[in-house]
Structure 1
Amino acid sequence: MKCQKCGTLIADETDAYKHGDQSLCEDCYLDIVATPKTCDPWAVYTAKSLTKEKPVLTPIQEKILSLVEEKPGTAEEICAELGITESEFRLNFTPLRHMELARACKVDNRVCYTLFNR
C-alpha cells in the first residue's frame, strides 16, 4: 500500500491513517491534522514567556523576518524570494507570529506579511 499524498510505501495496512477518503502515512497525516495555527492565544502566551530576551530562530525564520522588515510582501512573493514552498513558509511563519515578531495584514485585498510592531 502507498500513501495517497506522498507515495511512500506503507508496509502494513494497519500503519495507514484514514483522512477523508485517503489512506496516508503517519507523516502526511500529522501534516494535515497537526498544522500549527497562527491565531492561538495559548501558543502566543507560551512563546512570549519563553522568549523574553532574544528569541532563537531557525535560519528560514531569520530570513523571513529580515525580508518582511525590508518590505512587507505576500506569501507568494516571500516564497519566491526565499525559494521555499508555501507550506514551509506557513510552518516557519507561525512561530514568528506566536512570538509577536511578525504578523499578517490586509493591504488592497491581499494578505501581506510584515513586522508585528508596524
Structure 2
Amino acid sequence: MICNKCNNEIPEGEQCMHRGQILCEDCYLEYLEPPRTCDVAAVHGAKMSRKLAGQDGTDGLTETQKNIYNYIKDEGPVTVEQIMSKFNLSKIQYERNFAVLRHCELAHGFRKNGKVMIKIWGKDTLGSMHLTDC
C-alpha cells in the first residue's frame, strides 16, 4: 500500500485513514498534530526538561538540529527556504526541527520587509518579541 501524501510504501496493517486518504503513520500524525512553534507550554516544558537534564546550548539536540542551529548562527539571519535547501528538508521536516529550536529558545523567526527570517535567540531577542515573532 502507498501513502497518498508522501508516496512511501506502508507496511500491511499500518495504514491510517484520514478524510478518505490512505496515509502512513507520519503523514497521519502531521494532520492531527502539526508542529507548533509558538507554544508557551512547550517552551516551558523544554526549558524545564533541559534544566533538569543539565543541558545547555545545543546539548540534547539531534545532529540535524545542531547543524541547523550552527548554520543560523554562522549565516543568519536566514530564510526558511535557505535552511530547507541547505539541509534538503521538506517543509514538515523543517517545521519539526525548528519547533525544537524555538521551544528551547535557541532560534526564532521575525519579519523583515515582509519576509520571515530566522535568527539565533540572543540578548537582543529578550523583551523584544511580538506575537508575530515566532
Range of TM-score over shorter length: 0.7 to 0.9
CA RMSD between the two structures: 2.0
TM-score by length of 2: 0.74
Which AA in structure 1 matches 2:9? T
TM-score by length of 1: 0.83
For residue 9 of structure 1, report the CA deviation from its aligned partner: 4.4
Unaligned runs of 5+ in 1: none
More helix by share: 1
1:31 matched to 2:30: yes
Does structure 2 conserve the Cα–Cα contact (< 8 Å) formed by 1:101 and 1:115?
A: yes
**C-alpha distance in structure 1 between counterparts of 2:79 and 2:62, whole Å:** 20
**C-alpha distance in structure 1 between counterparts of 2:49 and 2:23, whole Å:** 34
**C-alpha distance in structure 1 between counterparts of 2:86 and 2:121, whole Å:** 20
Matches for 1:1-118 after TM superposition, within 5 Å: 2-5=2-5, 6-9=7-10, 11-12=12-13, 16-52=15-51, 53-54=55-56, 55-70=59-74, 71-117=76-122, 118=124
The number of residues matched between the two structures is: 116
| Identity percentage of aligned residues | 33
Unaligned runs of 5+ in 2: 125-134
Which AA in structure 2 matches 1:4? N
